[in-house]
Amino acid sequence: MIYEYRVYEAVPGRLPDLHARFRNHTLSIFARVGMRVVGFFTPEIGGNTNQLAYILEFDDYAHLERSWAAFREDAEWKAVKAESEVRGPLVARLTSQIWKPTDYSPLR
């Protein structure tokens, strides 16, 4: 298994819209294209409170690449993204890291 850790910094004032897009649309699209969500998180103490972080689980790099390619080409995603960004982008900055569990990690 590998894990992708993504952090979105929302455009000021748009974090509620970003949450709504994930809650109402993106999660079901993720499931349809084979992405497994480990969890979504927001900073409680420390850090930038205008961020949304999440972790996805993939079997391997090929699974990750296939899933993201399918997601980017998904007609529903394209429509949802366009509709949610009528007033401008929701995300100011995105960072992504691919994590590989250590041999002693309970999560593998």
What is the widest separation between alpha-carbon atoms in the chain?
A: 46
**pLDDT interval class at 70 (50, 70, 90):** very high
Read off the pLDDT of residues 29-46 as tens digits, 9 standing for 90 and up.
999 999 999 999 999 888
The predicted structure's pLDDT at residue 108? 79
Is residue 21 assigned to a domain?
A: yes
CATH number, domain of 69, equals: 3.30.70.100
Burial label for 35, CB within 10 Å (0-12, 13-18, 19+), is buried
Integer CA distances (angstroms), 31 to 12, 43, 92, in order:
29, 25, 25
Rg (CA), the chain: 14
pLDDT, tens digit (0-9, with 9 covering 90-100), for 11-23:
999 999 999 999 9
Task: Decide: pTM greater than 0.85.
Answer: yes
pLDDT of residue 46: 85
Q: Any idea how long the chain is?
A: 108
Question: How many distinct structural domains can be found in the chain?
Answer: 1
Domain range enclosing 46: 2-99
Residue 39: inside a domain? yes
